[in-house]
Amino acid sequence: MRKHRHVRYPWTMLFLFCTSALMIFPFVWMLLSAFKTPADVYNYPPKWIPSSFQFTNFAEVFKKIPFIRFYINSIFVSVVQTVLQIAISAMGAFAFAKLDFPLKNKLYAFMQSSLFVPEIVTIIPMFLLAAVAGLIDTYTGLIVAELNCAFTTLLLISFFQSIPNELIDAAKVDGCGYFRVFLEIILPNSKTAIGAASLFAFLTHWRSYMWPLIITNNVKMRTLPIGLKYLVTETGTEYQVLMAASVMAIVPVLIVYILMEKEFVQSITLTGMKT
Amino acid sequence: MATVKGKETKAYSLKKEQSRAAAVMVTPLCITLVVLFLLPIVLVVFMSFTNWSMSSPTRSYVGLRNFKFVLSDPRFWKAFKNTLYYTGIKLVFDTGLALFIAVLLDKKIHFRRFFRIAHFAPVVVPITASSLIWLWFYDPGIGPFNQILQWLGLPPLQWLYSEKTALLSVILFSIWKGVGYNIILFLAGLQSIPESYLEAARIDGASERQVFFKVKLPLLSPVTSFIIMMGIINCFKVFTEVDVMTPNHGPLESTLLMVSYIYGQSFTRGKMGRGAASSLILFLIIFVFTMLQRRLGQKEVSFD
């Protein structure tokens, strides 16, 4: 029955297939090229389909750069950042949404104002502070400096506010302290919001570029987005190797995205519209 | 009397308990805000009035000299002009194209999920990785773009390697990278319009075109103004893709943007005082746009 309600729009479909193809083309190109031989790449005219599918380019990536180290660095840093950021934000958001305390409004405005300030403004003094504290080339330096909690806190506040006060009052009557209220009522009742905020935070940290670029000098401390650049050289980039590395960097993200598409979209609409 | 007094103390102790719990829960947040925001801001303002430099340990107060230097530096104005150019072109496509595609995706069509996934995929991958793919696309010798131009019978372009096309090439990439984000926002906006509004318009004899221009578009205006303002603000913050694709600001510095300028002053040249001053100027520009967005954002559209 439902099928009949779909109306076919041939021109719309054609147009969307074309734009979709354009959007996907770079990924298809990357996947195909990761298997190309140098001859496929440097021949004129270049070949679009590899002459034979070989995995040598992938092996070459590990020979050229400490790729696994970059990967582990990126995962470790972004996971720790996400967990810390969401924990700090959720606790703070609970206090703002459900508790009364002095200076609440002033603090709220202060937090909001921090959103207006672009990263490049704070990054110059942050670099000096990190240098003084001896945090260059350390995980602490990589992680701590980017715990920008303001945005995720503001997002969570608006969600926690929608949790009925009666739930909290009932728990209070039963003798729960506010910490138990937070753990047992607020958190279980806002899984969607926490999920959306976490996804948003993780994506931001996973893609982070400027701060890791500044705070690390040692190759071993580089994260994936910076590390990939080692494959680009002035004398001639081996594109097929670069593509093999890109496949390993991009495909896991794409798979997670396709599996969790609904959550991704939700995180964008929630985070996008709340500011 | 006793009960009233009892209530009062109870209310008082409840309030005290709340403040105490709140103090504990807000403390980590406050620490991050002070250390990662307040302290750097104070420091950057202070630095902008000094000749702070990476190479020399001595630093002294220089008044407004850094600001004067930056505002009379032709490179700064070039970066400003490039950023405006970048913003203008990107915004037209990011808003127009995104709205157009969102309207199409709002129809009841097959493969909707596939279309959505395809258009949004570039948004989720790390910008470095995708700009490295495009670096190859733009290669004048072995890149597929020039090959496609050849198939179409058009002359080859130098893409990132010519002053005329370098910035446009970066813009093209960033449209590919970012348009999906706006599509999702527009789509969410379109889907939040109550069906009854559209029905009512159609019953009154409105054509689909009229429904779009007279009903949908006005109701979308908060989303549109949000997208435009955020688009402007984000264009002034662009760094990753220009830095990856044109590490030396492209031919004749044709891809030098505001953040690249500030970054270059502070970290490549080590003139952190000048960097600080120019970053404050950028902040001022973004602040003006943010205030505008707030102002315009207040014109809420009501569904009631």
> Is B41 found in the same domain as B180?
no
Range of the domain at B2: 1-48
- Distance from the Cα of A24 to chain B's closest Cα (Å) equals 6
Contacts of A107 in chain B (CB under 8 A): 26, 30
> What stretches in chain B show pLDDT beneath 50?
1-3, 302-304
Q: What does the pLDDT read at residue B226?
A: 83
pLDDT of residue B304: 45
Is there a single domain that holds both residue B117 and residue B217? yes
pLDDT tens digits for B169-217? 999 999 999 999 999 999 999 988 888 888 899 898 888 889 889 899 9
Q: How far is it, in rounded angstroms, from Cα A228 to Cα B128?
A: 8
Chain B residues with beta carbon closer than 8 angstroms to that of A16: 101, 104-105, 109, 111, 115
Cβ contact, residue pair A100, B18, below 8 Å: yes
The per-residue pLDDT for B5 is 52
What sections of chain A are H helices per DSSP? 2-5, 10-33, 38-42, 56-64, 67-98, 104-113, 119-132, 139-144, 149-161, 165-173, 178-181, 191-207, 210-215, 224-227, 239-259, 261-274
Segment 72-111 of chain B within 8 Å of chain A by CB: 101, 104-105, 107-111
Residue B208 lies in a domain: yes
Q: For residue B158, is it within any domain?
A: yes
User: B108 and B40, same structural domain?
Assistant: no
Q: Which two tokens stand for residue A244?
A: 């093999």
pLDDT score of B19: 87
ipTM of predicted complex: 0.88
Say if B41 falls within a structural domain: yes
Q: Is B147 at the interface with chain A, CB within 8 A?
A: yes
The mean pLDDT of A236-265, rounded to a whole number, is 90
Mean pLDDT of A69-80: 96
Query: Burial level of A2, CB count in 10 A (0-12/13-18/19+)?
Result: exposed
pTM for the structure as a whole: 0.89
* B129 and B19 in a common domain: no
Which site among B36, B236, B267 would you substitute to test the A interface, given the most A Cβ atoms closer than 10 Å to its Cβ?
B36
Supply φ then ψ for residue A100, to 5 degrees.
-105, 130
Decide if B152 touches A, using CB distance below 8 A. no
Domain identity same for B78 and B154: yes
Phi, psi of B138 (to 5 degrees): -85, -5
Q: Residues A165-185: pLDDT tens digits?
A: 998 888 888 888 888 999 998
Give the residue, A113 or A213, on which the prediction is more confident: A213
Judgement on whether residues B8 and B106 belong to the same structural domain of the protein:
no
Tell me phi and psi for residue B239, to 5 degrees.
-145, -55
Among the ranges given (A56-70, A117-131, A153-167, B12-26), the one the predictor scored with the smallest mean pLDDT: B12-26
> Are B153 and B84 in a shared domain?
yes
Q: Per this entry, what is the length of chain B? A: 304
Instruction: State whether B4 and B90 are in the same domain.
Output: no
Closest CB from A44, A92, A182 relative to B26:
A92
Residues of B in contact with A3 (CB under 8 A): none
Where are the domains positioned within chain A? 65-231
Determine which of B117, B228, B291 to mutate to test the interface with A (most A C-beta atoms within 10 Å). B117
DSSP letters, B164-227, are TTHHHHHHHHHHHHHHHHHHHHHHHHHHTS-HHHHHHHHHTT--HHHIIIIIIHHHHHHHHHHH
Q: Are residues B8 and B111 in the same domain?
A: no
Look at residue B222 in the predicted model and tell me its pLDDT: 84
Query: CB-based contact (8 Å) between B37 and chain A?
Result: yes
The CATH number of the domain where B281 resides is what? 1.10.3720.10
* C-alpha span between A40 and A47 (Å, rounded): 5
How many folded domains does chain B comprise?
A: 2
CB contact under 8 A, B43 and A128: yes
Residue of A nearest to B15 (CA): A100
Question: To the nearest whole angstrom, how far is the Cα of A234 from the nearest Cα of chain B?
Answer: 11
Q: Are residues B216 and B268 in the same domain?
A: yes
CB under 8 A, 24+ apart: contacts of B107-115? B107/A7, B107/A9, B107/A12, B108/A5, B108/A6, B108/A7, B109/A6, B109/A7, B109/A8, B109/A9, B109/A12, B109/A13, B109/A16, B110/A6, B110/A8, B110/A13, B111/A13, B111/A16, B113/A261, B114/A20, B115/A16, B115/A20
CATH architecture of A65-231: Orthogonal Bundle (1.10)
